[in-house]
């Protein structure tokens, strides 16, 4: 499975509806959002997506999902770029909940990945995708144990 990393920096863009979006995902089991993607030539529907909070602490992975659309062109501020739709399966509020921290992401094989990209929608190294998914699922399982 191919996987991609999408960055969110709250200093550059405030996610005002984050709590509402979390509640919508919990209530309906569905939440789709569109994000810019630099890897528009290789990304495909069904690929795995991880969202990472950058810029301010806490930094780390706070959401995951699957690519739900083919890339499509967009235009903003005199610039052409591509966007995709992500169907989220997990969304956490980094200010209110623990997230998969940079400390964990920078250990072992995961340290091979650039976790602070300048562009959103970069490819995650194929050799660490399975390990990342395992670490993410383990993190979510451990998190759920303490939130009973």
Question: What's the pLDDT band for 76 if we cut at 50, 70, 90?
Answer: confident
Q: Specify the CATH class of 3-146 in words.
A: alpha beta
Among 134, 48, 139, 34, CA closest to 97: 139
- Asked if the model's pLDDT at residue 87 lies above 60, the reply is yes
Q: How far is CA 17 from CA 13, 21, 32, 64, in A?
A: 12, 6, 13, 17
Question: pLDDT tens, 95-117?
Answer: 999 999 999 999 999 999 999 99
Q: In angstroms, what is the C-alpha Rg of the chain?
A: 15
Question: pLDDT tens, 35-52?
Answer: 999 988 899 999 999 999
pLDDT at 65: 98
Helix (H, G, I), strand (E, B) or coil at 134: helix
């Amino acid at each position: 499975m191919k996987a991609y990393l999408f960055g969110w920096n709250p200093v550059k863009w405030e996610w005002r509806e984050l709590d509402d979006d979390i509640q919508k995902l919990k209530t309906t089991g569905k939440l789709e959002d569109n994000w810019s993607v630099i890897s528009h030539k290789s990304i495909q529907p069904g690929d795995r997506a991880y969202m990472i909070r950058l810029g301010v602490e806490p930094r780390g992975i706070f959401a995951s999902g699957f690519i739900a659309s083919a890339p499509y062109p967009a235009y903003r501020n005199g610039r052409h770029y591509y966007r995709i739709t992500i169907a989220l399966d997990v969304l956490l509020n980094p200010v209110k909940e623990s997230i998969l921290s940079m400390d964990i992401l920078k250990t072992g094989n995961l340290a091979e990945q650039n976790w602070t990209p300048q562009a959103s929608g970069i490819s995650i190294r194929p050799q660490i995708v399975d390990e990342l998914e395992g670490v993410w699922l383990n993190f979510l399982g451990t998190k759920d144990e303490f939130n009973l």
